[in-house]
Structure 1
Amino acid sequence: MRLACITVTLFLILKCCTASGEAVTCTGIVPMRYRTDKISIADFGGVGDGRTLNTKAFNEAIYRIKHLRRRGGTLLYIPAGVYLTESFNLTSRMTLFLAKGAVIKATQKTANWPLIAPLPSYGRGRERPGGRYMSFIHGEGLHDVIITGEKGTIDGQGGVWWDMWRKRTLRFTRPNLIEFKDSRNIIISNVIFKNSPFWNIHPVYCSNVVIQHVTILAPPDSPNTDGIDPDSSSHICIEDSYISTGDDLVAVKSGWDEYGISYGRPSHDITIRRVTGSSRFAGIGIGSETSGGVYNILAEDITLYNIGVGIHIKTNIGRGGIIRNITVSDVYMVNARKGIKITADVGDHPDNNYNPNALPVIKHVRIRNVRGEKVQQAGLIKGLKNSPFMDICLTNINLHGTIGSRYVAWQCSDVNGGSIQVKPSPCSELIRSTGTCSSQF
C-alpha cells in the first residue's frame, strides 16, 4: 500500500486570453488538493488481474466517498494491475489516482451499457437519433474532482465500438471515454488515455477545467476519436500534452444547429498551449458544432506532424453562432494536407429542422508565427456571400510544400482582412488590407 506516499500539493492557475490574445490570469483557480482521507480499490474487493469485473468495487468505493463526505474529500487509489470494469460515475470532492502500472480497462460487453439523455444543445445523440451511451468514466453536476496519478492508463477498448460504427450497427451514439457535464473545478493530469470508443475527454457545460500532462492515443483510422473537446464550457486550460488520434486533436464546440442556438451557451476563455500530436484531421479545431458561439480562444506553441489540417475553423449554414477573438500563434507543422482552413461548409445537421438563414459569423481571427514544411496547400478561407468572414489577420506565416510535388497556395472567397510577411503570398482578399489588422499585429 502506497497511500501514505501520495503528497500532491500543486496549485494550478487557469490562464485565459483577452480580446487582444494576451494571456492573463483567469478568475478561476483550480487546486490540486491533498486529500487526507485515502482508500484503495483493493479495500472494496478490487482485483487487478485483467479478468475480474470490478464494477461493484468501483461503485462501492465511490459510494463511500459520496456519503461519508470527509472534510477535504477522499482519494481513491488504484494500485498497479489491470482493473476491468463497466462504466461508472464519479462524485464530488474526490481524486481518482492511478499508480504506475495501473490500468482501468473498459469491458467490451456493450449490450448492457447504460443509456443517458441527449445533450440539450445537440437535441439528439451526435451519431444516432435518441439518447447516447454514458461515457466510460462519467461525472455530472460535480465539483472538485481530480483524475491524476503516475502515468497510469484509462483504456476504453474502443475496437468493438469502432466496428459497430463501421458496420452501421450502432443503435445509439458511442460513449466518450471521459465526460464531465455541468461540473466545475476539474483537473485531469498525468494519465494516459487510449482507445476511446468516441471522443476522449469531453467537458460539456463546465467551467474551470485544467487538462495537462496527458497522453491521448488511438489508431489513426479509429472513427471520431477526438482528443479533447471543450463544449459550451469556459475557463479551460489545456497544456503540455501529446495527442495522436483518429480525429481532431483539440476541438472547441458549443452546440448543434437549432438546439445549440436555443440552448445558447458559448465556449469561451480557453487556452491551449504546448500541445504536440498527429492526426488525419485537425490539429487545433474550432467546430463544426458552434451554434452557441465561441470566443476568446488562445492556442500557442503547437507542434503537429502528419496532420490533415493544422488550424481549422469550421462551421456551416444553419449553425448560427458567432466565432470571434481567436488567436493562434507559434505553430510548427510537418507533412500537412492544409496549413490553415476556415470554412462554413463543414459538418452535417441533426435533422431537417435547422434554419438555413441561421448563418454563422466569423470575425477577429489572428493567426501568427506559423511555420510548415511539406504542406500540400497553404490555406483555404471561404466565407459566405451573405456572411463574409471579417477581420481575418495573418502575420509571419511560412508554409511550403515539397520540391517537385503538386502544391496549391491559397484559395479565398468572401473574406476580408490583411496579412504581413506571409509566404507564399496569400490570396488578394488578404493582401488588400482593410486597415483593421495592422494595429493588431
Structure 2
Amino acid sequence: MNKIASILFTVALFSTSISLNAQTGVGKAYSFDNLPKVAKTSFKADTLNIIKYGAVGDGLTLNTKSINDAVIACNKRGGGVVLIPQGLWLTGPIELKSNVNLHLQKNSILQFTKDFNQYPLVASNWEGLPQMRNQSPLWATNQQNIAITGHGIIDGAGEAWRMVKKEKLTANQWSKLLASGGVLSEDKKTWYPTEKFFNAAKMKNPGEITPDKTPEFYQSIKDFLRPNLLVFTSCKRILLEGVTFQNSAAWNIHPLMCEDLTVRNVYAKNPWYAQNGDGIDIESCKNVLIEGSTFDVGDDGICIKSGRDAAGRKRGMPTENVIIRNSTVYQAHGGFVIGSEMSGGAKNIFVYDCSFIGTDIGLRFKTTRGRGGVVEKIFVKNINMIGIIGEAILFDMYYAAVDPVPLKGEKREAPKVVILPVTEETPTFKDFYISNVTCDGAAKAVFMRGLPELSISNINLANLSIKAKEGIDIQEAKNITLHNVSLTVDEANPLINIQNGNQINFNNLKYNTAQLLFRISGDRNSAIRTSGLDATKANVKTEFLAGAEEKSLQINK
C-alpha cells in the first residue's frame, strides 16, 4: 500500500476525510464532520434541596450525611436534581447514584473537609495501578446517567494533603508554609504536611495493593494516599457542566473506564506548584466530548491515559473516540497530553480549536519502555499557543517522570541509547496528523525522540508557524512529513537536527536564519529529503556526525 492509499484508508476507517496534496501525500485540511457520537444524559425535573435533609451552609457544619441522604432519596425516586443552594457547605465524600444530577447554584461552594478521618481507605487506582487510596471526595462506581452541573465551586482542600517543593514557591510563601507546621525533608527542599506522609514518601510505591500489606500498614501511611477530587469508575452517560473543580489533593477530574462522557464549560483550577495536580485525566474511556472548558493547573492540563505497564495491558481498554474542542489551557505541564500511562492504548482522538497559554509544553506525547501499548490515529488541528516554556510539539519515548522543564540549578543528562528487543513492553506511537498550529514563543519548535528498536512513525505535521528559541529535533523516527512549516528562531545551530531518521520529508520549509541548516548523526539515516527549501540563507548547509553519510540527505529547492 503506498503512502497516499495508506492515509486515505486510515482516515476513512475512522469516518473523517482528508484532502491530499497530489505531490506529497500530505494532508492539507481535515474534515471533522463525522466525529464520534457521545450519548447524552437526561434527568427528571424533580428537585431535592439538601437543606430539607438537614444540611447547613455555615462553613462549620459537616454535611456529609445530609447530602448523601438527598442523593440516595433522589435515586430511589427514579432520579432528578439534588440542589446545592448558595452557601458554604462543608462535607466529606459524596457518592453519586444513577439518574441524579448534583446541581450547584451560583454562589455555592462545596468545601471538602481537611479532616482525613472523614475519608475511608478504599481499594482504588493510581497512575494506572491498583492502589489503596483515601476515598475520593466525589465518586461513583457502576452508575448510569449522572451529572454535576451548575455555577458553583467544588474545592478539594488540596493544601491539607499535598507535598510542596521549595523551588516552586516564593520566599514569603515558603516561610508561611513552614510556619503552618508539617515536616521538612533532610535536604530542606521539600515540605510534607504530616509525619505519616514524610515517612511513606521514602518508601517505594507504598500504596500498591499486595498480599503482604495489612490494614494497619495502610493506616500508617494514610496521609500519603492522596485522593483524586473526582473519580467515576465504570459509569455510563456522564455530564460535567459549568462547575469549577479546584484545589484537588492529586488529580482533579478522573473518569476511569467510563463511556459517554461530556465535559462542558467547566473550569479546572489548581495552584501551579500542585504536585500531580492534573486538570482532567481520561483513562480507558470510550466516547468522550470535552468542550468550552478551561484548565489552569499544576500538572498536565487535558490528558489521555489507559493504564500502566502490565496492569494496563491486562486491562486492555484503550481510550478511544474522544473529541476535545474550543478549550483553553493556561498553566500546565502540557496543554493536550497523551501518556505516559498509555499501556492499554489510545486511538481515534480528535483535538481542535484549542489555545495553550503559558503551558510548559503545548502538544505533549510521552511514554517509556515497559509501558507497551499503541497510540495511533490522533488528529489535531487549529491550535494556538503563546509563551510555551519548553517544546511546542513533543513526542518522547524516554519519559522519566520529572517536570518537563528543569527547575533552576537542576541538571539532566540525555538517556543512553541502547537497542533492546521489541516485546509487549515496547510502546508504539504512530499515525499522528497535526495541522494548523501557531505558536508565539517556545524553547523548541518540534522535538521527536523515539526508541532505536522501534521508531516513532507516520507523523504528519502541516501548516505550522512557530516562533521559538530552537528549531526541530528528530531522533529515531521514520516516515515523518513536515509540510508548510515556518520557523522563526533565535538560535539555529542547527536549525534541524536528525539522529537516525528514515524517510523524513520537509516540504516548503521557511526559516529566518540558520548558522547550520542540518546536522545529521548516526549510522541509520536514509531518505531525508527537502523540497521548496532555500538553503542559501544558512551559513553552513550540512554537518554529518557519528557515522552519518552525506547520501542520506537530499536538499532540493
Specify if TM > 0.5: yes
Structure number, greater radius of gyration: 2
Aligned counterpart for 2:429 among listed residues 362, 366, 374: 362
Residues 253-294 of structure 1, C-alpha deviation per residue, up to 9 Å, x if partnerless? 000001101111110010111111212410000001000000
CA distance in structure 2 between the partners assigned to 1:322 and 1:426 by the alignment = 27
Residues 1:47 and 2:56 aligned together: yes
Give the match for residue 173 of structure 1: 225
Give the 5 Å matches for 1:39-118.
39-66=48-75, 68-70=76-78, 73-118=79-124
Opposite residue 130 of structure 2, the aligned amino acid is R
Residues 1:314 and 2:366 aligned together: yes
Give the match for residue 418 of structure 1: 481
1:59 match: secondary structure = helix
Note if contact 1:121-1:262 (Cα within 8 Å) is conserved in structure 2. no
CA distance in structure 2 between the partners assigned to 1:99 and 1:245 by the alignment = 24
Give the 5 Å matches for 1:335-414.
335-336=387-388, 337-347=390-400, 357=423, 358-401=425-468, 407-414=469-476
Give the match for residue 9 of structure 1: none
CA distance in structure 2 between the partners assigned to 1:200 and 1:17 by the alignment = 30
Give the 5 Å matches for 1:69-218.
69-70=77-78, 73-119=79-125, 122-125=128-131, 131-149=132-150, 151-163=151-163, 166-167=191-192, 168-169=197-198, 171=221, 172-218=224-270
CA distance in structure 2 between the partners assigned to 1:255 and 1:186 by the alignment = 21
Note if contact 1:339-1:372 (Cα within 8 Å) is conserved in structure 2. yes
CA distance in structure 2 between the partners assigned to 1:426 and 1:368 by the alignment = 19
1:24 match: secondary structure = coil
Give the match for residue 40 of structure 2: 30
2:460 match: secondary structure = strand
1:192 shift after superposition? 0.9
Residues 211-261 of structure 1, C-alpha deviation per residue, up to 9 Å, x if partnerless? 010111111111111111110001000010111000111000000001101
The 1:360/1:305 distance shift into structure 2, 3 A limit, reads same
CA distance in structure 2 between the partners assigned to 1:266 and 1:19 by the alignment = 20
CA distance in structure 2 between the partners assigned to 1:389 and 1:235 by the alignment = 26
1:79 shift after superposition? 0.6
Superposition CA RMSD, Å = 2.4
CA distance in structure 2 between the partners assigned to 1:368 and 1:426 by the alignment = 19
CA distance in structure 2 between the partners assigned to 1:19 and 1:197 by the alignment = 39
CA distance in structure 2 between the partners assigned to 1:423 and 1:160 by the alignment = 47
Residues 32-56 of structure 1, C-alpha deviation per residue, up to 9 Å, x if partnerless? x342321100000111111111011
1:423 shift after superposition? 2.3
1:17 shift after superposition? 6.3
Note if contact 2:272-2:331 (Cα within 8 Å) is conserved in structure 1. yes
Query: Relative contact order: is structure 1 or structure 2 higher (C-alpha 8 Å, sep ≥ 6)?
Result: 1
Identical pairs, percent: 29
Note if contact 1:121-1:263 (Cα within 8 Å) is conserved in structure 2. no
2:65 match: secondary structure = helix
Note if contact 1:17-1:271 (Cα within 8 Å) is conserved in structure 2. no
The 1:121/1:200 distance shift into structure 2, 3 A limit, reads closer
Residues 1:431 and 2:505 aligned together: yes
CA distance in structure 1 between the partners assigned to 2:254 and 2:340 by the alignment = 15
CA distance in structure 1 between the partners assigned to 2:361 and 2:345 by the alignment = 22
Give the match for residue 535 of structure 2: none
CA distance in structure 2 between the partners assigned to 1:23 and 1:309 by the alignment = 28
CA distance in structure 2 between the partners assigned to 1:36 and 1:202 by the alignment = 27
CA distance in structure 1 between the partners assigned to 2:353 and 2:148 by the alignment = 25
Gaps of 5+ in 2: 1-12, 18-29, 164-181, 183-189, 201-220, 403-420, 488-494, 508-526, 532-557
TM norm structure 2: 0.68
Note if contact 2:63-2:91 (Cα within 8 Å) is conserved in structure 1. yes
Residues 1:295 and 2:296 aligned together: no
Note if contact 1:38-1:77 (Cα within 8 Å) is conserved in structure 2. yes
Poorly superposed stretches of 4+, deviation over 6 Å: none
TM norm structure 1: 0.86
Structure 1 window deviating more from structure 2 (423-432 vs 266-275): it is 423-432
Residues 181-232 of structure 1, C-alpha deviation per residue, up to 9 Å, x if partnerless? 0001000001111101111111100000000101111111111111111100
Residues 414-441 of structure 1, C-alpha deviation per residue, up to 9 Å, x if partnerless? 1121110112275554436889xx9xxx
CA distance in structure 2 between the partners assigned to 1:133 and 1:120 by the alignment = 11
1:348 shift after superposition? 5.1
Give the match for residue 7 of structure 1: none
1:375 shift after superposition? 1.1
2:280 match: secondary structure = coil
1:285 match: secondary structure = strand
Note if contact 2:336-2:364 (Cα within 8 Å) is conserved in structure 1. yes
Gaps of 5+ in 1: 1-15, 126-130, 350-354, 402-406
1:63 shift after superposition? 2.0
Residues 118-140 of structure 1, C-alpha deviation per residue, up to 9 Å, x if partnerless? 33993333xxxxx1122111010
Note if contact 2:38-2:289 (Cα within 8 Å) is conserved in structure 1. no
